[in-house]
Amino acid sequence: MVIRNLYTLLLFLLSPVLLFTLYKKKAGKPSFGPRWKEHFGITPPLKNQSQRPIWIHTVSVGETIAATPFIRALKQQYPYTPIVISTTTSTGAEQAAKLSDIAEHRYMPIDFPFAIKGFLRVIRPQSMLIMETELWPNTLYHVAKFGVPITVINARLSERSALRYQKFQPIFNLLAKSLSQVLCQHRDDAERFIRLGVDPTRVKITGSLKFDITVSEESLKAGAQLRLLLGRKRPTWIAASTHQGEDEQVLDAHKLLLKRYPEALLILVPRHPERFDDVYKLSTSTGFTTQRRTDTTEPSLKTQVYLADTMGEMLTLIEAADICFMGGSLLGDKVGGHNVLEPAALAKPILIGPSYFNFSDITNNLKNQNSLFIIHSPEEIYEKIDWMISNNISHELGLKSKKFIEKNKGTVKKTVKLINEVI
């Protein structure tokens, strides 16, 4: 109790900074509008209150996308049970809205006791499922006290995060008490949770939900149509989910590529929508003929950089390319990489920087398939792309990625089966 009270006091002291970051207006970031009150437990009732709902927390965009196949499978298993998806961010809410046919969205209350209690009184969930590792002491305590079993699905815990938790072991002990199940992506994740004190009988290995990625015919067709629009025969690569500090390196690599292949095209996809304008200015000021996806005029063969300034189209954009560089990986230890399964599922060879600790298992497995390559500089990006183009082997390498994904599917089915135990 003392530890949790001290934590709550610290959270109150830090809340002005946290709230400023959460509500700060940025270009391309959806507004919370009057729904900001939901963060403080002023939560409207669900439209469907026929039964106590299943509560799934997915934090933001990436987690919501990854959880989508599971959420749809869960709805098939429990067609008459309401599902509520909570996210913290407004961009996550925008993504969750795409599941409005099977679930309702509410904003996740901030980890203040009064906010959590307010949410629970209105929503009255029968089970809470947390995507990956979004663990908050007050939330877990009050949800468990309310009699709601808590399962962490698709759980992952890097060595770096485990060492951080160890520094605050008493707080992690509070978290561990409240967890009914921890369904881990990999054996390494499971071992770290157990090492930190989670009851081994509550820890299971299911694999990654992200392997069960479904590429719709609509995405494939849209990608093929986009490629025709951009130019079928020209060498085309994509830099996906780039961060500030990486765009410059990607553009430097593209400059080298254009010297060898003047007709080459880069599809550039910044990770955060608030950076679209800045990246466009960077590209044009660097001398590239740049076309925004939202422009009404069609790109021409003179277009050198195609800036994807939209959300929710990653599969379409990757499908339109031959080779994929995955961002968040050239910035030291700041980000730790992004999910490489989407390009793998689309049979694309993958380049990634040396910092990929958030996805080390998947990245290393694809590296062992010789379909993913670790690069350290713009020059290495250029050299690998040049090697693939000149030897005409990008499709062959990409097929190795796709075969690996197909071999590891089945996590959704395993997870739904284990969730049956707590619903």
The rounded mean pLDDT for the chain is 93
Q: Span 2-208+410-422: which CATH code?
A: 3.40.50.11720
Q: Supply 396's token pair.
A: 């062959």
- Catalytic pick among 38, 63, 104, 246: 63
What pLDDT digit, counting tens, does each position of 93-144 carry? 988 999 999 999 999 999 999 999 999 999 999 999 999 888 999 999 999 9
Average pLDDT over residues 266-276: 95
The answer to whether residue 259 scores a pLDDT higher than 90 is yes
Q: Which residues contact 184 (CB under 8 A, 6 or more apart)?
A: 155, 156, 157, 190, 193, 203, 204, 205, 206
Q: Supply 98's token pair.
A: 């795409």
pLDDT level of residue 28 (50, 70, 90 thresholds): low
Residue range(s) in the chain whose domain bears CATH number 3.40.50.2000: 217-407
Q: What is the DSSP string of 19-69?
A: HHHHH---TTPPP-GGGGGGGGT--PPPS--SSPPEEEEEESHHHHHHHHH
Residue range(s) in the chain whose domain bears CATH number 3.40.50.11720: 2-208+410-422
pLDDT number for residue 416: 94
pLDDT number for residue 44: 96
pLDDT number for residue 343: 96
**Does residue 63 have an active-site annotation?**
yes
0.75 exceeded by pTM: no
Q: Supply 218's token pair.
A: 């609509």
H or E stretch covering 212: none
Residue 100's Cβ-count burial label (10 Å; 0-12, 13-18, 19+) is exposed
What pLDDT digit, counting tens, does each position of 140-192 carry? 999 999 999 999 999 989 888 899 999 989 889 889 999 999 999 989 999 99
Residue 217 φ then ψ, to 5°: -60, -30
CATH class of 217-407: alpha beta
pLDDT number for residue 27: 61
Q: Are strands 236-242 and 181-184 parallel, antiparallel or unpaired?
A: unpaired
